[in-house]
Structure 1
Amino acid sequence: MSESAPFSAPRVAAILLAGGQGTRAGFDRPKQLERLGGKPVLRWSLDAFAAHPAIFAGVLVANDDVMAAIGALPEGWISAVPGAERQQSVAHALAALADWEEEALILVHDAARPGVSADVIDRLLAALQDSDAATPTLPVPDTLVEQAAGNVGDAVDRAALARVQTPQGFRLGTLRRAHAAAAGEAATDDAQLVRRLGIAVAAVAGDARLHKLTYADDMAILSGLLGTAMMMRTAVGMGYDVHRLVAGNPLWIGGIEIAHSHGLEGHSDADVALHAITDAILGALADGDIGDHFPPSDPQWRGAASHRFLAFAADRVAARGGRIDHVDLTIIAEAPRIGPHRPAIRARIAEILAIPLDRVSVKATTTERLGFTGRREGIAAQAIATLSLPEN
């Protein structure tokens, strides 16, 4: 979850619609799961919203298959089931935000438009300071004509026309009233529903990168639009951590508590596994180490849960416009046995990092009773993180 807006400002949430099947695209899976630039189409929008500092939370509207494929959601995000039609999907997301105040700001976005940018989000939020609704638009560059029976008819004046994109922004109360008044009437977007209430919808400048994925050929267009703007490089970082075992302490490894006679000693909860991964990610970012950001001399981190450190590192990647491609962790311990806990550790790391499970590797080994780990005096962990980061 990104940092929330100031207390006096309305909270901001995103609704990301990913419930359609996209049969016109002709892919062998839902189009929102098709790979674009090394990650699913859906993930482009999800990462963009999660990285924006004004967005407090979000609702991903998707079926179980999509949820399983996309992996863990960013912190602060929840899911909702899709409806048979777009309006029903938005209604389900609104129901998930039932406890949110009327003045909250909501951005509704179609996952089939992966090129959402911070600039478009900023323009929408600025427009909502004075309006109840706003949408990005682009001018129509082509000549438009009427067509009947395969023949070209009269030209249509395009001066008063515009192409409408998403995300679209609304005051939550306004969006709720618009959906309640629609009573099942069809509309291709939420701005139309709001206009039916007689409420003006402000237009802000759109972005060509918000091109919609409808047909298979659109993938080539999107690859060009987004690939040119986001040339990526691979960055690799390594992390290593050690903590002493002491009697009576709880034992936290990989974000889960393991029953054992001894626990690890440290300023925080001393989770060597999460500390090693945090340092590996920070190393790949060339962004110092865990001690630089969470110094042991600072009392606010005494006893802190280490998942906070790892989530911080993941947020630093998102803020750079990057992604975590893979994490490889090795835990070095004579006791307790790590093997039975590996699935839970792996799942917890994927959840904290908001990445698919298949991007997380967890291994365990001993030192054959040699050294401090062999004497059961402590536990060590080492990790390697592989990131993709935008070129400067």
Structure 2
Amino acid sequence: MSHDQTIPHQRTEDGQKVAAIVVAAGQGLRAGQPLPKQFALWRGKPVLRHSVEALSGAGVAPIVVAIPEGADALVREILAGIKDIQLTTGGASRQESVRLGLEVLAGSAPHLVLIHDAARPILPAAVIDRLTAALGHHDGAIPVLPVVDSLAHAECGDSGETMGAPARREALRRVQTPQAFRFAGILAAHRAWEGPATAGDDAQVAQAGGLEIALVEGDEALHKLTFAADFTPSTPPIRVGTGYDVHRLEAGEELWLCGVKIEHTRGLSGHSDADVAIHALVDALLGAIGAGDIGQHFPPSDPQWKGAASDRFLAHAGKLVGEAGYMLANADVTIICEAPKIGPHRQAMRARLAEILGADIAAISVKATTTEKLGFTGRAEGIAAQAAVSLVRI
């Protein structure tokens, strides 16, 4: 969606206008980034832009962004092209930054306001809808998730922490943002706050001001980026690789296919045992994890691989797959030749490949085809093989 286009402003069913404050004034030191985490790149864009785009894309406007002192030029560059943005310098605490943002909005007096942490870049539109719907009957609403792990109080002593009394997780919730409020009520609650501005979130300020806060269903996607690991690119859950190889048929050579020796008038010629099917499979596995090809790991110029059994190559590729954090989901090998017939050996080939890779035989497919007498395989000059694999993250 282009943010130069006109987007209808978010309104509730009864036409109440929804504005937002995005808190982006912190330092984010725990994230280990070279600049505050809200300005760091995440999935190709600064974190702050993800958050503001989500609100703007839902029609929320205006959006006030509380930023560190002196960051105006950087933030305007990050948010270029997004309309209805206002910047304000944040305070010494999150609570102060929110109050300053509310004062900026006081002039436009929206009916409702969403207060969101910039460090939560994924904001499903359904969460916004649930929050604004809840404000039809409550002063405020916050997205929450259940606690699924067992909890216990920690008791600190001279020997370190020990387990104290258990906590009832059934009565606890994980609180997320954005938090939604009727604007007049949350502004009054912030203005009336007494003491240090150290409230953990705006729901605490609202509750201290006598407002009733509804709990609505949050979303795991609203995860808050906090630590350096949150900015480490995660490995994809599935990876795919393909391989292809060809070897010449010659008299006096042994014929090895998929780790199985087959009696035939000719065998495949190569530096190793020339198992063309295993070579294609090795390339598929290496390609899936971005580890080059078989020639890089076992160069034909190296005399130690002369006549070597190709099962060593396949075992090595399987080991690299495991070290990369993956396991084989399935492998599909196609052998292309006029002769010999592959069918009688198919099950033995599947079993041998599964044995070498430590996989279930059900994950291994071996099949064959001809080229209808066309090309070098059709003239029985050689055998070709292709392989495809899929890997799943362990």
Give TM-score scaled by structure 2 length.
0.53
- Identify which of 117, 123, 126 aligns with 1:116: 123
- Residue 35 (structure 1) aligns with: 41
CA distance, structure 1, for counterparts of residue 215 and residue 205 of structure 2: 15
1:210–1:128 CA distance, 2 compared to 1 (3 A)? same
- Residue 228 (structure 2) aligns with: 216
**2:119 alignment partner AA:** A
- Identify which of 107, 115, 120 aligns with 1:99: 107
Q: Do the aligned residues in 1 keep the contact of 2:176 with 2:218 (CA within 8 Å)?
A: yes
CA distance, structure 2, for counterparts of residue 5 and residue 197 of structure 1: 26
1:29–1:194 CA distance, 2 compared to 1 (3 A)? same
2:88 is equivalent to residue 80 of structure 1: yes
Q: Which has the higher contact order (CA 8 A, sep 6+)?
A: 1
CA distance, structure 1, for counterparts of residue 26 and residue 141 of structure 2: 24
- Residue 148 (structure 2) aligns with: 141
- Residue 7 (structure 2) aligns with: 2
CA distance, structure 2, for counterparts of residue 100 and residue 69 of structure 1: 25
CA distance, structure 2, for counterparts of residue 198 and residue 144 of structure 1: 29
- Residue 62 (structure 2) aligns with: 57
1:109–1:184 CA distance, 2 compared to 1 (3 A)? farther
2:31 is equivalent to residue 25 of structure 1: yes
Q: Do the aligned residues in 1 keep the contact of 2:10 with 2:58 (CA within 8 Å)?
A: no
Q: Do the aligned residues in 2 keep the contact of 1:20 with 1:30 (CA within 8 Å)?
A: yes
- Residue 206 (structure 2) aligns with: 194
**1:56 alignment partner AA:** A
Query: Shift of residue 4 of structure 1?
Result: 2.4
Q: Do the aligned residues in 2 keep the contact of 1:139 with 1:161 (CA within 8 Å)?
A: yes
- Identify which of 153, 165, 171 aligns with 2:176: 165
* Structure 1 residues not aligned, in runs of 5+: 229-392
Query: Shift of residue 73 of structure 1?
Result: 5.5
CA distance, structure 2, for counterparts of residue 127 and residue 214 of structure 1: 28
Query: Shift of residue 197 of structure 1?
Result: 2.1
Query: Shift of residue 131 of structure 1?
Result: 1.2
1:71–1:126 CA distance, 2 compared to 1 (3 A)? closer
1:98–1:139 CA distance, 2 compared to 1 (3 A)? same
CA distance, structure 1, for counterparts of residue 98 and residue 79 of structure 2: 22
CA distance, structure 2, for counterparts of residue 168 and residue 5 of structure 1: 15
Q: Do the aligned residues in 2 keep the contact of 1:2 with 1:56 (CA within 8 Å)?
A: no
**1:113 alignment partner AA:** R
CA distance, structure 1, for counterparts of residue 23 and residue 192 of structure 2: 21
Cα displacement string for residues 296-350 of structure 1 (whole angstroms, at most 9, x for unaligned residues): xxxxxxxxxxxxxxxxxxxxxxxxxxxxxxxxxxxxxxxxxxxxxxxxxxxxxxx
CA distance, structure 1, for counterparts of residue 26 and residue 10 of structure 2: 31
Cα displacement string for residues 272-291 of structure 1 (whole angstroms, at most 9, x for unaligned residues): xxxxxxxxxxxxxxxxxxxx
Cα displacement string for residues 206-256 of structure 1 (whole angstroms, at most 9, x for unaligned residues): 0001111111123359x68xx88xxxxxxxxxxxxxxxxxxxxxxxxxxxx
CA distance, structure 1, for counterparts of residue 222 and residue 9 of structure 2: 25
**1:128 alignment partner AA:** L
Give TM-score scaled by structure 1 length.
0.54
What is the root-mean-square deviation of aligned Cα atoms in Å? 2.1
What's the % identity of the aligned pairs? Answer: 42
**1:14 alignment partner AA:** A
Query: Shift of residue 26 of structure 1?
Result: 1.7
Query: Shift of residue 153 of structure 1?
Result: 2.1
Query: Shift of residue 137 of structure 1?
Result: 0.2
SS of structure 1 residue aligned to 2:225:
coil
2:163 is equivalent to residue 152 of structure 1: yes
1:99–1:71 CA distance, 2 compared to 1 (3 A)? closer
1:77–1:71 CA distance, 2 compared to 1 (3 A)? closer
CA distance, structure 1, for counterparts of residue 97 and residue 91 of structure 2: 5
Cα displacement string for residues 17-64 of structure 1 (whole angstroms, at most 9, x for unaligned residues): 1010111122111101221111111111111011113x2321111133
1:6–1:35 CA distance, 2 compared to 1 (3 A)? closer
CA distance, structure 1, for counterparts of residue 168 and residue 29 of structure 2: 33
SS of structure 2 residue aligned to 1:159:
helix
Q: Do the aligned residues in 2 keep the contact of 1:132 with 1:170 (CA within 8 Å)?
A: yes
Q: Do the aligned residues in 2 keep the contact of 1:87 with 1:187 (CA within 8 Å)?
A: yes
CA distance, structure 2, for counterparts of residue 176 and residue 6 of structure 1: 19
* Structure 2 residues not aligned, in runs of 5+: 1-5, 238-394
**1:90 alignment partner AA:** V
Query: Shift of residue 72 of structure 1?
Result: 2.0
Aligned 1:296-375 pairs, distance under 5 A = none
CA distance, structure 1, for counterparts of residue 64 and residue 82 of structure 2: 10
Query: Shift of residue 146 of structure 1?
Result: 1.1
**2:166 alignment partner AA:** A
**1:84 alignment partner AA:** A
Query: Shift of residue 117 of structure 1?
Result: 1.2
